Amino acid sequence: MSQKPSAEQNDQLQPHNSVWDIIRYLIVVVLLVVGIWYVYFQKPVIRTAQETKGTTIGTDYVVKVADFMKGTNFDVWKNIEILIRQRLDGIDRMTSIYRADSEVSRFNNSGSTDWFNVSKDTAEVVQTALEISQLTEGAFDITVAPLVELWGFGVNRQHHLTTNDLEEKTNQIKQKICYDKLEVRSHPPALKKSIPELQIDLSAIARGYAVDCVAELLEENGFMNYMVEVGGEVRCRGNKGTAGDWMIGIEKPLIVSTNEFSGLQRKLRIGDRALATSGDYQNYREIDGVRFSHFIDPRTGFPTEHLAINEVKTLQSELLQKESLQPELLQTEQLQTEQLQMEPLQTESLQQELLPQKSLPAESSQTKPLQNERLLTKQLPSDIKERLGSVSVLAKTCVRADALATAFFVLGEHKGLELAEKHGIAVLFLFRTEQKDRPIREAVSTTFPKSE
């Protein structure tokens, strides 16, 4: 017959049992920590990516999410696809200038200078646009809409104006555009114009905003590893599982004469940031044999690619105000120095393309500025044969990157880099030539990442 342990024996066994309890507790804790580490740090081993694509805001979009575990019920993803589609369609209904029922179109068609009620989305986009306008001192300006339409890059892309007609009408219209004629409020969201004729165009910022909206939608639903792209504007977060980090490529500018794609200029790990690129090689018009970029400089009213021409016009006009001006003055050392300080876009070949011999008007007192402008053109350095092809900007949000890419294209290399360095903005300028064997030239701010 067994005997029960005495109280003294129990006291002797208690420490022994306590030690084993502690050991078992530690084992459980270690296993729990290892399990958590495996799930969160080794998750890429078992993650799979899902993708959805479509069209929106007049362009294509792609969304990739790498947060799905093997065995996941993918009905969740189907619901997310529907939400993405609805979100993008909603932005298009609010910001499109191609829809008569959009908020932007109704605001443009309104002649009232009272507050015009809009959605929270539209107010947010306009607020960001005005902030970028102030930052760039008008190089970005959504009130440029009438000029975009005039030059054939708006809703109506068919017109029969000559370059001389365009210049006259441009000078008339640009007096009625400026971001300081537009106000926005958030509570309640509304826009207000100070003149009835004011119109806005959100094309240069809406895609970036759409990217941010989809990214926020994904995060609200628990997805933290994604890549969202709308019309070439991209935002990433996390990674793509076993395939590693999201890698984003920046294309080399196309050769205009052949319209050929020549590969990638850079491949970047952008981390949890957004990248937007603006280029002139995919959207331009030819009028009277002259090639015009779709980037309109709100400060001059003319396409940005002709900024050099406009600067020459300004300089020449100032000289012509002096009664003693003679053609010989156009060849002075001082003038040549000022020309050499202009943007690299101001080349002899580009100037000849923009002002062909056959498009010059007949001799008259009104056309002398153009005649003198041709004399100025001949003084431009002939050894520089490149033009700005694209500008890429990295930022925390895509709406900001999108607007800044357009602004920097308008500003050009020198003024653009000066602004970028002052505010710590990551920007890359790519310059192209018409010659296949010449490399793309880069101009880059110090905060822009190196290529992989």
pLDDT in tens, 134-175: 999 999 999 998 888 887 776 665 655 666 777 788 888 888
> For 111, what's the count of Cα atoms within 13 Å in the CB-facing half-sphere?
0
pTM of the model: 0.73
Q: In percent, how much of the chain has pLDDT > 70?
A: 66
pLDDT in tens, 21-47: 777 778 877 888 777 766 555 544 446
pLDDT at 83 over 60: yes
> Which one has a higher pLDDT value, 243 or 289?
243
DSSP class of residue 144? G
pLDDT at 1 over 70: no
What is the rounded CA–CA span in Å between residue 250 and residue 186? 36
Indicate the average pLDDT of the chain.
76
pLDDT in tens, 103-127: 999 999 999 999 999 999 999 999 9
pLDDT at 5: 54
What is the rounded CA–CA span in Å between residue 139 and residue 132? 9
Strand partners, 183: 192
pLDDT in tens, 214-261: 999 999 999 999 999 999 999 999 998 777 899 999 988 876 555 566
What is the rounded CA–CA span in Å between residue 103 and residue 126? 12
Q: Which two tokens stand for residue 350?
A: 């580009």
Q: Report how far apart, in Å, the C-alpha atoms of 152 and of each of 73, 145, 304, 350 are.
A: 49, 11, 14, 21
Classify the phi-psi angles of 61: left when phi > 0, otherwise alpha if psi is within -120 to 50, otherwise beta.
beta
Overall residue count recorded for the chain in this entry: 452
pLDDT in tens, 187-218: 999 999 999 999 999 999 999 999 999 999 99
Domains in the chain: ranges and CATH: 101-193 (1.10.3980.10), 291-452 (no CATH)
What is the rounded CA–CA span in Å between residue 253 and residue 116? 41
Give the dihedral sign, CA 95/126/141/230: negative
pLDDT at 326: 39
pLDDT at 159: 58
Q: Report how far apart, in Å, the C-alpha atoms of 379 and of each of 98, 322, 336, 353 are.
A: 44, 20, 7, 15
What is the rounded CA–CA span in Å between residue 344 and residue 352? 15
What is the rounded CA–CA span in Å between residue 64 and residue 50? 6
Q: What pLDDT band is residue 366 in, cutting at 50, 70 and 90?
A: very low
Q: Report how far apart, in Å, the C-alpha atoms of 125 and of each of 105, 179, 185, 274, 286 are.
A: 15, 14, 11, 16, 31
Q: Which two tokens stand for residue 79?
A: 């619901």
> Which one has a higher pLDDT value, 146 or 402?
402
pLDDT at 163: 66
What is the rounded CA–CA span in Å between residue 103 and residue 422? 36
Strand partners, 390: 279, 430
Q: Are 338 and 330 spatial neighbours (Cβ–Cβ below 8 Å)?
A: no
> Which one has a higher pLDDT value, 305 or 86?
86
Residue 45 buriedness (CB in 10 A; 0-12 / 13-18 / 19+): exposed
Q: Are 299 and 264 spatial neighbours (Cβ–Cβ below 8 Å)?
A: no
pLDDT at 306: 33
Q: Which two tokens stand for residue 181?
A: 């004629």
What's the distance, CA 171 to chain centroid?
Answer: 27
pLDDT at 76: 84
Phi, psi of 151 (to 5 degrees): -85, 5
* Long-range residue pairs from 194-197, CB within 8 A, at least 24 positions apart, any chain: 194/113, 195/113, 196/111, 196/112, 196/113, 197/146
Give the dihedral sign, CA 390/392/398/402: negative
pLDDT at 33: 76
Q: What DSSP string runs through 32-46?
A: HHHHHHHHHHSGGGT
